[in-house]
Chains A and B, each alone.
Chain A
Amino acid sequence: MQQTKIPTKETLYCKELSNGLTCFILPKKGFLRTYGVLSTNYGSLDSRFQVPGAEIVDVPAGIAHFLEHKLFEEEHGNVFGRFAQWGASVNAFTSYTQTSYLFSTTENWQDCLTLLMEFVHSPYLTEENVEKEKGIIVQELQMYADHPGHRIYTLLLENMYHEHPIRLDIGGTVESVMNTTVEDLLRCYHTFYQPGNMALAIVGDVDPVESLSLIEEKYPSWDKEQVQIERLYPSEPADVRNAWVEETLQISQPRYLLGFKHEPVWQGVDLLRQQIIMSLGMRLIAGRSSTSYGELYEADLITDSFGASFNADPRYAYSVIGSETRDPEALHAKLTTIIDGLKKNQVAETDVERLKRHIYGSHLASYESFEYTANRFISHHFRGTPYHNYLDLLASVTAADVQQALIEQLNWDRSTITILRPVDIHD
């Protein structure tokens, strides 16, 4: 078992089992709760793939999320009641790149962990229960459709990308959900839910040796041959699909989102380093400590919702900057000046050093959250980025790195604007 000291001076235990499953265990002395999460390296992006000796498979959008719903179903009812007997809660979530199943409990964590591994590996799908789920998922999509933050983000990606599946909503569309079949679901299940494509993390007051032997003993036996999955993505042009898009929704004031599309050229340690550099850069633009924030707030062009983020994976990379605003056009004009100013050698060493202290503290504080910590171990593992080097990489970043990244990445020729406006109210 590999042991690593994390920045809070606690020890992380890690091991890859003989069936290929990677396990992370972070003991937390004195805590009453145990959190466990089992994830597969499979998300909404994986809708076209091939295994050796078989045809290329195309499945409807939203299928990873559909599967996430269905794995809770058992022949007699659902798995919620079984976790409830120990007072535990169980849930799941799907992202662009992964699907995760989790529990949180203060009692019987060993039973919860065993059940988690068991139910994720026991699909019970019938024509009838798949049909029944469609009504529930459609209501989930409708809920998001009414949610302005979600709606504008989806719209931005839809117009940034031409072909790449990141342009589609994680849950798919009402139509793709209605067209999903048992066969589609099972094919994806059998392809992506192999232990070699999965990882498990436990955080709580647990003994690492006991945890690991429990996993080895109780993880469903795996005698099938594990196959190499080739994920296929369409070739994506460098430019954006639409440079300016608007839509209306029942909201109190307009929302503005500016997106920059980047070439996804980073892998491994470079990707993590780029994430750190860009998070500093984004804070220079949208952080409360930036002069631009004060300027925009004084001009009444942004609200508390003003923020910026860099999002990257070996398969995609983009940055997003946005806010609720009374005047999207005026905000866009000012923001253009601010970004162009920063690109012209205006990144100050003192600012970057101060922001590095902030990122250092935030990183330490993030280990207080069981969920965040466990999910970070797994997502960095899937992405192939060395999370344990985070603080060393942070120390190595300079103002010049940030300056250069802003110049290279915030390229107006690859930018797109999305605006949501309130619907006109006719009395």
Chain B
Amino acid sequence: MKFTERELTKGVRLHLCETDKFKSLTCKVFIQQELKDRDATSTALLPLLLRRGSERFPSTLQIARELEDLYAAEFGADVLKIGERQILEFYLQMVEPSLLPQGEELLERGLRSFWEIFTKPQGPGNRFVDSYFEQEKSTLEQDIKGLVNDKRSYAQVRLIALMCAEEPYGIYKYGDLKDLPGLKNQDVFAHYQKLLREHPIDIFCVGQNLEGVARLLSSLIPPRQETVELAPKTQSTVAEARYFEETMDVNQAILVLGYRTNCSYHDDDYYYALLVANGILGGFAHSKLFVNVREKASLAYFVGSGLEGSKGLLTITAGISPDQEEQALAIIAEQVKALQSGDITSEELEQTKRGITGAMTTITDSPAGVIDRNLLGLVEGEYRSLDQVVEAIWKVTHDDCVRVMQKIQLDTTYVLKSDGSKEGAEDATN
């Protein structure tokens, strides 16, 4: 599952993975930019606007009918956040043309329509259709407000916003409500044109007969003159651990703890140890958090930890009964301490390494997984092969895990729970 890479024009790279393993053709386009106030909100509007219509397919209905004619082809657009980069993503997936009645013809038609829809939006040329623009602003407003509908995701986003309030990483991937009223159609359009013209673009394709795909794509992409340099990510340290509480009308309380690991992708000695240590702590059903918070103490149904490898943050999340917060926090703290003091059995270490390498191998069984595993490398400017990563994980020792866990610092604790009386986040300790 290796990619070959070539530059189509300045700053536009094409990565091809020729394989007959899948019954589909999958292409993803990633356009990178710095995570910035206001720009983040403008970018978040683009996927919503582009699906409204293009020159050749001027409405959602016409786009949808084209996709149905292509035998359930999927076109989509979204916004991702990796470290302090915001990424505009376009994707195409269609059934392997050789399995379909009109084969090759459909492949070319699919690619042309895909590219058209995402680069030639309907409008007078310097702006999106005004009525679409106004309506999609309110759609984005609802999307951002709608985060609260999924309490676990909401709590995780709130923790990051509070913990990284002074850093770009604190910005939500879909931007901020306060920016929305001020966004102007022409400015958002200009921002979009700039992304296409000057920002780094990476196109990944997985499937069969990709030379044909490459030829077609390079004929569709106009030459570019320059590529912007993106700023490196910021670093921050913990001054004092903070605690925030927010109340809502909910049945279950959600606890989220955010740690700074002081370690990231390029710290060769630590990065893979951190991956393994996080796995031992809370990545699996055999992990310390699951065993102790859920299985032994019966406090939670979901509890686990996760890692953001670019920014170097570790978070722990648990859904608990509101009257058991103290008990849960104490057991969670004990598990972190256990790792820091070397309480890791050889069984835990072995199982976790197998679990991580198994999961990494598994993602290469899906075309989207084959592509997405490169995202961190894309943002960090250094791709690593599956073999390389698997080898690095197997090299991690007990002592490596202890050392890397001793570097982590609790920054922020956030609790969402029912209380009835107050609204909004308040700092309860300082």
> Which residues of B (153-197) have their CB < 8 Å from a CB of A?
none
Which of chain B's residues have a CB closer than 8 A to the CB of A364? Answer: 23, 71, 95, 99-100
A361 at interface, CB cutoff 8 A: yes
Which of chain A's residues have a CB closer than 8 A to the CB of B302? Answer: 139, 143
Interface residue tally on A, bucketed by range: 35 or more
> Which residues of B (116-165) have their CB < 8 Å from a CB of A?
135, 138-139, 142, 145-152
Instruction: Decide: A33 and B69 in contact? CB cutoff 8 A.
Output: no
Within 8 Å by CB of B319, from A142, A149, A253, lies A142
B350 at interface, CB cutoff 8 A: yes
Whole-angstrom CA separation of A134 from B135 in the bound complex: 47
Whole-angstrom CA separation of A269 from B342 in the bound complex: 60
Instruction: Decide: B72 and A362 in contact? CB cutoff 8 A.
Output: yes
User: Which stretch (B38-46, B225-233, B244-252) binds chain A?
Assistant: B244-252
Instruction: Decide: A87 and B252 in contact? CB cutoff 8 A.
Output: no
With CB as the reference atom, state the residue of chain A lying closest to B320.
A139
Contact with B along A126-146 (1 / 0, CB 8 A): 000000111111111011011
Instruction: Decide: A139 and B319 in contact? CB cutoff 8 A.
Output: yes
Whole-angstrom CA separation of A345 from B71 in the bound complex: 26
With A135-B298, A143-B319, A252-B148 already in contact, the answer to whether A84 and B354 are too (CB < 8 A) is yes
Most buried by B among A147, A149, A251, A358: A358
Instruction: Decide: B145 and A252 in contact? CB cutoff 8 A.
Output: yes
Which of chain B's residues have a CB closer than 8 A to the CB of A148? Answer: 149
User: Which stretch (B332-340, B362-370, B371-379, B404-412) binds chain A?
Assistant: B362-370
Contact with B along A84-97 (1 / 0, CB 8 A): 11111110000000
A83 to B: closest C-beta gap in Å: 8
User: Which stretch (A42-50, A291-299, A379-387) binds chain B?
Assistant: A291-299
A41 at interface, CB cutoff 8 A: no
Which of chain A's residues have a CB closer than 8 A to the CB of B319? Answer: 139, 142-143
B36 at interface, CB cutoff 8 A: no
Instruction: Decide: A8 and B23 in contact? CB cutoff 8 A.
Output: yes
Whole-angstrom CA separation of A423 from B319 in the bound complex: 22
Within 8 Å by CB of B146, from A86, A89, A104, A324, lies A324
B96 to A: closest C-beta gap in Å: 8
With A142-B321, A294-B59 already in contact, the answer to whether A33 and B361 are too (CB < 8 A) is yes
> Which residues of B (23-43) have their CB < 8 Å from a CB of A?
23-24
B203 at interface, CB cutoff 8 A: no
A231 at interface, CB cutoff 8 A: no
Which of chain A's residues have a CB closer than 8 A to the CB of B152? Answer: 143
Within 8 Å by CB of A357, from B71, B145, B290, B364, lies B71
Which of chain A's residues have a CB closer than 8 A to the CB of B223? Answer: none
With A143-B301, A147-B150 already in contact, the answer to whether A80 and B60 are too (CB < 8 A) is no
With CB as the reference atom, state the residue of chain B lying closest to A135.
B298
Instruction: Decide: A146 and B355 in contact? CB cutoff 8 A.
Output: no
> Which residues of A (295-329) have their CB < 8 Å from a CB of B?
297-298, 300, 303-304, 324
Instruction: Decide: A107 and B355 in contact? CB cutoff 8 A.
Output: no
List 27 A–B pairs whose Cβ atoms lie within 8 Å, in order of A's numbering: A31-B21, A31-B365, A32-B364, A81-B351, A84-B284, A88-B358, A105-B358, A107-B358, A132-B298, A136-B301, A139-B300, A142-B321, A145-B251, A145-B252, A250-B248, A251-B146, A252-B146, A289-B67, A294-B61, A300-B135, A300-B138, A303-B139, A304-B139, A355-B68, A365-B24, A367-B23, A425-B423
The interface of chain B, by Cβ under 8 A from chain A, is: 21-24, 59-61, 63-65, 67-73, 93-95, 99-100, 135, 138-139, 142, 145-152, 248-252, 284-286, 290, 294-295, 298-302, 319-321, 347, 350-359, 361-362, 364-367, 423
- Known pairs A106-B358, A365-B72; list 5 more (Cβ under 8 Å): A31-B365, A85-B350, A135-B321, A357-B71, A358-B72
The interface of chain A, by Cβ under 8 A from chain B, is: 7-9, 30-33, 78, 80-81, 84-90, 104-107, 132-140, 142-143, 145-149, 249-253, 287-291, 293-294, 297-298, 300, 303-304, 324, 354-355, 357-362, 364-365, 367-368, 370, 423, 425, 427
